[in-house]
């Protein structure tokens, strides 16, 4: 090494007079103190953990409801969903999803992440399914409960007793509105 280079290297290693060596923790303290997370920010982080952020949002496809289906549920298979009218989404259906398209296997060409496969369902069929699942089926269950309550009421009256319903107005207090899916 040349003498000039040695002087340069030695100069870099010398301490300035009157300056003592500080620990890395002391030097980094300001940075970590500035990174404190507020309770509101922590609450927002918690809220976000309640939702599955591991899957990207599927872009809207006009006329279709889009969703992710799992290949691992034995009770709700992809073949079952296909029979119900779902269609698997291919890379050409949604621009920008080419990087998460399966290259091999049973679902080659389909948009997928791990065991999840993107699917679409015509909106007309989606609305009918939602009407059934969220209005019609619960209404049938409510009617069954009402019939059972009426039978119990009649039985109690025949025995000289009475049936007391609990709650605001009993089961008939507020009937749900017809579903928006009709």
Determine the pLDDT at residue 77: 96
End-to-end CA, the chain: 86
- Where helices occur in 118-163 by DSSP H, the ranges are 123-131, 137-158
The structural domain count of the chain equals 1
Q: Is 46 helix (H, G, I), strand (E, B) or coil?
A: helix
The two structure tokens encoding residue 87: 């269609």
The two structure tokens encoding residue 19: 């300056």
Please report whether residue 162 resides in a domain.
no
Please report whether residue 83 resides in a domain.
yes
Determine the pLDDT at residue 111: 94
Please report whether residue 49 resides in a domain.
no
Please report whether residue 87 resides in a domain.
yes
The angle formed by the CA atoms of residues 126, 68 and 124, to the nearest 5 degrees, is: 10
Please report whether residue 175 resides in a domain.
no
Please report whether residue 91 resides in a domain.
yes
Q: How confident is the model at residue 84 (pLDDT cuts 50, 70, 90)?
A: very high
User: Is 73 a residue whose pLDDT tops 70?
Assistant: yes
86: exposed, middle or buried (Cβ count in 10 Å: 0-12, 13-18, 19+): buried
Q: Under a CB-based contact definition with an 8 Å cutoff, are residues 127 and 121 in contact?
A: no
User: Is 20 a residue whose pLDDT tops 50?
Assistant: yes
Determine the pLDDT at residue 156: 87
Please report whether residue 102 resides in a domain.
yes
Determine the pLDDT at residue 95: 81
- For residue 111, the enclosing domain spans 64-123
Please report whether residue 152 resides in a domain.
no
């Amino acid at each position: 090494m040349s003498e000039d280079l040695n002087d340069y290297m030695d100069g870099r290693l010398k301490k300035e007079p009157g300056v003592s060596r500080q620990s890395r923790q002391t030097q980094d303290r300001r940075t970590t103190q500035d990174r404190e997370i507020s309770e509101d920010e922590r609450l927002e982080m918690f809220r976000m953990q309640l939702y599955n952020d591991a899957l990207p949002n599927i872009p809207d496809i006009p006329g279709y409801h889009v969703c992710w289906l799992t290949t691992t549920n034995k009770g709700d298979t992809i073949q079952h969903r296909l029979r119900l009218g779902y269609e698997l989404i291919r890379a050409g259906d949604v621009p920008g999803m080419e990087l998460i398209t399966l290259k091999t296997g049973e679902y080659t060409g389909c948009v997928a992440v791990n065991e999840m496969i993107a699917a679409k369902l015509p909106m007309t069929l989606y609305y009918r399914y939602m009407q059934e699942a969220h209005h019609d089926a619960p209404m049938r269950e409510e009617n069954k409960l009402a019939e059972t309550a009426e039978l119990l009421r009649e039985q109690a009256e025949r025995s000289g007793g009475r049936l007391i319903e609990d709650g605001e107005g009993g089961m008939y207090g507020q009937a749900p509105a017809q579903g928006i899916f009709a």
